[in-house]
Amino acid sequence: MSQIDNKIPRVCHHLRKGNKTYSSYNDSVDSTAHLLKYPREKLISLHTLADMCHTMKTLHPNCKYLHAAIVDIRGAYQQFLVSYDKFLLIWNKFTILRDNIRVTMLQGGLVGTFGDGHAGDIWNVIGSLLDELHNLEAAHNMWMSKIYVDDTTIIAPPYISASPPAEPPFMFEEAGGSTLDPLPGVPQFQPGTRYVIHDAVCNHRDNAARLLGPNATEDKKTIFSSGYVISIGWHLNLQYDQWYAIPKHRKIKKMAHYVFNVIKPQDTWAPLKT
């Protein structure tokens, strides 16, 4: 059991690895049957993000830049009840001796477990639902979002928000989170001003809370930015007159280190490990 910020304890059953004595938890899973029940979804890419940003730019051509936000769904790594279909894929049958009588027992997990090689496919069913809900509830195409595993990237025009709707009430009246420094020449978020991007984040955090519980997301991992977004390892400039994508700064430093420090002049092949 581990403690997160002295708030919510959780238990992680790490059952990925096996050895010569016993098999891995994943070895008991019928992968073919699993993928028939839970088809594997393709993760979003730079192309997906670029297409989303370009769509928002096309829908709001009079804006000079776009707002963005990243929301971390911590509930993705907490245990959740599994369906009966999933249970049938992971149960084990074993026999024990009890008073010299052979007793057959069935064992199966009723909650998602850390290390389950197929847990990502199960989570993606939940994540895709959150994705669909959030984009369906974007009134007048005021925002778009995509989930990458447990991180949601949200893009919206830099409009000031109208009052949030009274029905249904938001669990999160305030978006919370922190704001990154803007790029030179891009207006900052004005203190005390609520923008459309805040509505979008409240809506998304609200949906996650209703599905996964009130602590599914958290303030400190909700990040806003103006004129750019850093997502899935890329820095996307969202100023209309610039509009480019480059690897984020840390990735560039790693690439430079690899090129100048890891690859030697005599190497004919780049080393696979750094």
Edge-first strand listing for the sheet containing 228-231: 228-231, 234-237, 245-247
Question: What stretch of H or E contains 199?
Answer: helix 196-212
* CA 87-3-230 angle, 5° bins: 85
Rounded to an integer, what distance in angstroms lies between the CA atom of residue 75 and that of residue 151? 11
Which residue in the block uniquely carries the two structure tokens 């195409």?
Answer: 141
Rounded to an integer, what distance in angstroms lies between the CA atom of residue 88 and that of residue 95? 18
Q: What is the DSSP string of 173-202?
A: SS---EEPPPPTTSPPPPTT--BHHHHHHH
pLDDT of residue 3: 46
In a 13 Å sphere around the CA of 209, the CA atoms on its Cβ side amount to 17
Task: Note the pLDDT tens digit of each residue in 221-239.
Answer: 899 999 999 999 999 999 9
Query: pTM to 2 decimals?
Result: 0.76
Question: What stretch of H or E contains 155?
Answer: strand 151-156
User: Of 108, 120, 196, 183, nearest to 155 (Cα)?
Assistant: 196
Rounded to an integer, what distance in angstroms lies between the CA atom of residue 167 and that of residue 31? 43
Q: At what angle do helices 196-212 and 119-136 cross, to 10 degrees?
A: 140
Q: Distance between the two ends of the chain, CA-based, in angstroms?
A: 33
Residue 44 φ then ψ, to 5°? -70, 155
Number of helices (H), then strands (E), in the chain: 6, 12
pLDDT of residue 15: 57
Which stretches in the chain have pLDDT values below 50?
1-4, 11, 166-167
* Residue spans per domain, the chain: 44-77+117-247
Say if CB 69 and CB 21 are below 8 A apart: no
237 bridge partner residues: 228
Which residue in the block uniquely carries the two structure tokens 């400039």?
Answer: 237
Tokens standing for residue 145: 């979002």
Task: Note the pLDDT tens digit of each residue in 81-98.
Answer: 667 777 777 677 778 888
3-state SS assignment for residue 171 = coil
What separation in angstroms does the CA of 213 have from each of 73, 155, 216?
A: 11, 25, 6
Length of the chain in terms of residues written: 274
